[in-house]
Structure 1
Amino acid sequence: MKRLITRYILLFIIGSVAFAALFAYLGHRRFHEAGPTTVDLTYVLVKGESLRQISDTLEQRGMIYSNRIFTAGVRLYKFDRRLKAGEYNIPAKASMNDIMEILASGQVIQHKITFVEGWSSFEFIDALEQHQALTGDKPQIPEGSLLPETYFFPRGTTRQQLISQMQEQQQSLLQKLWDNRRTDLPFSTMQEAIILASIVEKETALPSERRHIAGVFINRLRKGMRLQSDPTVVYGIRQGRALERPISYNDLRTAHPYNTYMHHGLPKGPICHPGRLAIEAVFNPMPTEDLYFVADGTGGHRFAKTLQEHNRNVRHWRNIEAEMRKKTISEGSSPESSPPNRSAAD
């Protein structure tokens, strides 16, 4: 009788071991086989989540076949303490093993945001607030303190962290240029260089003109001439927001610390966040005798050494404006008049 009982116990143990081995084999195969998803999906692993919570969420979203097999596999491979918080891309058909390795890699999705050269703090703040991958309160940004470029960051980055990164980028560029600057430039601080660069940035959208524009302003500063830059007047009126109408003669006579038609030297502060090329331009302006420039009707400018030559260029611009008004009237729109572009004009 004892032998019979012993035999049954032995058979039970062998059967249990065999069943466990079969279950482990099937589970192992399931853990490594292609997953149920047919498209790439995004998964956010929240900091502090337990392995069970992660497994349940993955199963609920249809990204794995079994939360139990995923949990067992992660523990078997000792990955349960290696999973890292962040936002991950999970490719279609990813196996549970693939997902485990992805969540342990730390290679989170990098989001992108592009800041345009010449944007004001108002425009920077608007872009930062609209980006859903950023967190944190509405930031305060000193005008002219950021370097406009394309930046990459993981989800959950705070707006202040990104602002700090942009400020560090600008300071790094400024310090390099400052250490190698020419000794004859008519500004004595990095802040003054940024103020001038911000004016250069707003005066032209053509990279090829920036050094030339900078050269004109450098000449005028050396001679004690007023800069007479329209964008400084607009900034003083709108503080970085669009004027949404042509600049007027009354605007040019409006007293404020940014009006370079009324005040000599640089304005109170930057009028935008200048880009790399505009900053480099004020440290390395084009050698020129030009003191004036005016729009040429093609997006660029005509430059002049003398007021007489400049006035001819202004008349040319006026003729272009007249033709534009005629065209506008013929198309049935209401024409708007504006003073000539008097940037860098007496």
Structure 2
Amino acid sequence: MVRLLKYTFFFISTALFLALLMYIYIIIPHPVGKEKTVFIQKGKSLKEISSILEKEGIIKDGNIFLIYSLLRNKPLKAGYYRFKGAYSVKDVWDILYEGREQIYPFTIIPGEDLFDIAEKLESEGFVKKREFLDYVLNRKNVEKSGLKGISFEGYFPPETYFLSKNSDVEYIVKAFLKEFKKKYLPFKEQFEKKGIAFYKGMIIASMVEKESPVDEEKPVIAGIIIKRLKKNMPLQIDPTVIYSLKLEGRWDGKLGGDIMRFDSPYNTYINKGLPPTPISSFSLESLKAVLNYRETDYLYYFSPDGKRHIFSKTYREHLRKLKKYR
């Protein structure tokens, strides 16, 4: 009986000691040192996650993290996580359980189109270019989002977004559209009051964006585009030819000659009216320029330096100025 009591006391004491030791491991912070980013891939087991965290120095003992995770019995979220400072096992588990993952900045610059955005998303490690383009050039996905158009071109505002590198295409698109609905959609009512369909305004704004980086010129250029449309004149805007070539995977950085006659509904040299969709992202300044376009006597313009434009009232005047500057 005495021996049994001794063994019982030994086991209880040992169990209490181990429990106390584990408790200390769980609540005492472990210093990570310099900032570290850890990627927890989808489908990783608790044992694999524990091993990764120990290997990266986020926790001291992976087995303690594994036992604690099994006791909590709740799923941990995949993603990129940033650690800096000191963390207990409980701290790290809470971060992974709540999905407080690392996010990265992604910037869309005014005038970038879906193809530019796709390239950057892939090069910066967010999503594959082809996967993104297959989604955003699909009319059904546009309709599913309750939007007009045959693609998402023009719906992704120039802005710095903060995205997870564990996101799928649909999540990224929703992040872009959230910004559009917040900052751009409120102008729809103002366009309709002026008798301009909002989507038409978006298409013109994208051409204005591609034509001029100078904000004070934009209302003048918007006015010329609208005036040409009213006169049933071809717009003859070079970036629409470039966009038509990009759609076919044929853009090589060169314009001129026969390529200006490239057969596409986007080519405003061979087609009158607007292209089917916007041809790029555009700033709020470009959208406001269309809303508040300036009526002038001008019908033609060109840029001698790629920045500011020279405007003309007649084609003869336009040719004369072209000859002078070239």
Are 1:176 and 2:186 an aligned pair?
yes
Match runs of 1:279-318 below 5 Å? 279-297=287-305, 299-305=307-313, 310-311=318-319, 313-318=321-326
Q: Which residue of 2 aligns with 1:144?
A: 153
Letter aligned with residue 13 of structure 1: T
Alpha-carbon distance, 1:114 to partner: 2.2
The answer (yes or no) to whether the contact 2:191–2:198 under 8 Å persists in 1 is no
The answer (yes or no) to whether the contact 1:144–1:195 under 8 Å persists in 2 is no
Letter aligned with residue 283 of structure 1: L
Q: Which residue of 2 aligns with 1:277?
A: 285
- Gapped runs of 5+ residues in structure 1? 319-346
Q: Distance in 2 between matches of 1:292 and 1:40?
A: 56
Task: Determine helix, strand or coil for the equivalent of 2:286.
Answer: helix
- From 198, 219, 244, the equivalent of 2:253 is 244
Q: Distance in 1 between matches of 2:262 and 2:49?
A: 62
- From 191, 206, 220, the equivalent of 1:212 is 220
Letter aligned with residue 177 of structure 1: F
The answer (yes or no) to whether the contact 2:235–2:272 under 8 Å persists in 1 is yes
TM-score (ref. length: structure 1): 0.71
Q: Distance in 2 between matches of 1:47 and 1:226?
A: 52
Letter aligned with residue 63 of structure 2: R
Moved more, 40-49 or 276-285: 40-49
Q: Distance in 2 between matches of 1:163 and 1:281?
A: 26
Alpha-carbon distance, 1:131 to partner: 4.1
TM-score (ref. length: structure 2): 0.75
Q: 1:176 to 1:300 in 2, by over 3 A?
A: same
Letter aligned with residue 60 of structure 2: Y
Q: Distance in 2 between matches of 1:254 and 1:53?
A: 55
Letter aligned with residue 116 of structure 1: I
The answer (yes or no) to whether the contact 1:144–1:274 under 8 Å persists in 2 is no
1:20-47 CA distance string (max 9 Å, x none): 3333333333333342643333334455
Q: 1:145 to 1:229 in 2, by over 3 A?
A: closer
Letter aligned with residue 162 of structure 1: I
Task: Determine helix, strand or coil for the equivalent of 2:191.
Answer: coil
- From 17, 23, 30, the equivalent of 1:28 is 23
Q: Distance in 1 between matches of 2:299 and 2:112?
A: 26
Q: Which residue of 1 aligns with 2:13?
A: 18
1:246-272 CA distance string (max 9 Å, x none): x43555566654443444332454333
Are 1:163 and 2:173 an aligned pair?
yes
Q: Which residue of 1 aligns with 2:209?
A: 201
Corresponding residue pairs, total: 308
Whichever of the two has the greater Rg, that structure is 1
Alpha-carbon distance, 1:52 to partner: 4.0
Letter aligned with residue 222 of structure 1: K
Letter aligned with residue 244 of structure 1: G
Q: Distance in 2 between matches of 1:237 and 1:53?
A: 47
Q: Which residue of 1 aligns with 2:64?
A: 69
Q: Percent identity?
A: 28
Alpha-carbon distance, 1:214 to partner: 1.0
Letter aligned with residue 55 of structure 1: S
Q: Which residue of 2 aligns with 1:94?
A: 87
- Gapped runs of 5+ residues in structure 2? 138-150
Q: Distance in 1 between matches of 2:191 and 2:258?
A: 39
Letter aligned with residue 64 of structure 2: I
Task: Determine helix, strand or coil for the equivalent of 1:88.
Answer: strand
The answer (yes or no) to whether the contact 2:214–2:308 under 8 Å persists in 1 is yes
Q: Distance in 1 between matches of 2:65 and 2:234?
A: 72
CA RMSD of aligned residues (A): 3.5
Match runs of 1:101-112 below 5 Å? 101-112=94-105
The answer (yes or no) to whether the contact 1:83–1:103 under 8 Å persists in 2 is yes
